[in-house]
Amino acid sequence: MRHRSVADDLSDVSGATAWVARQVAGADLAEDLRYNIEVCVEEALANLVEHARPLGDVKDIAVCVDADRDGATVVVTDRCVPFDSTRAPPPADSGARPVGGRGLRLMRAFSSELAYRTCDGRNELTMRFRSPA
């Protein structure tokens, strides 16, 4: 897996998302799958920058990616207060959409699989994206 640190600054979210896009570009994935990957990565990183609180002095955010013609795996890690986005309830579905919670819906809809764990003081959000058979 290729690895990139991500600054705790929204200005680096687009750079990190573009880096992931370059990593998956050579895997010959369908355009819609590449789009799904980029949306999910951007959402996960933006959520950490905007909402997460560090456990210590720094959030220590990183993104790792591995891709081949069958799909991609992206792992976002951090040292923040744990938040399991795979279990967070979606916002109530009302006529007037609330501002928050849309990103979680997108991540769940656009990824083939989401997994979360905390290991050695780091949170890990693993997003898998599979090419259609």
Chain centre distance of CA 76: 6
pLDDT of residue 128: 98
Tens digit of each residue's pLDDT, the chain (133 residues): 999 999 999 999 999 999 999 999 989 899 999 999 999 999 999 999 999 999 999 999 999 999 999 999 999 999 999 999 898 876 666 555 555 567 888 999 999 999 999 999 999 999 999 998 6
pLDDT of residue 54: 97
Per-domain residue ranges of the chain: 2-90+117-130
Helix locations, the chain, DSSP H:
10-25, 31-51, 102-110
pLDDT of residue 104: 87
Q: In a 3-state reduction of DSSP, which class is residue 3?
A: strand
pLDDT of residue 62: 98
Chain centre distance of CA 11: 16
Task: Check the CA dihedral 66-69-70-71 and report its sign.
Answer: positive
State the burial class of residue 13 (Cβ atoms within 10 Å of its Cβ: 0-12, 13-18, 19+): buried
Superfamily of domain 2-90+117-130 in the CATH hierarchy: Histidine kinase-like ATPase, C-terminal domain (3.30.565.10)
Distance, in Å, from the CA atom of 74 to the CA atom of 64, rounded to the nearest integer, reads: 6
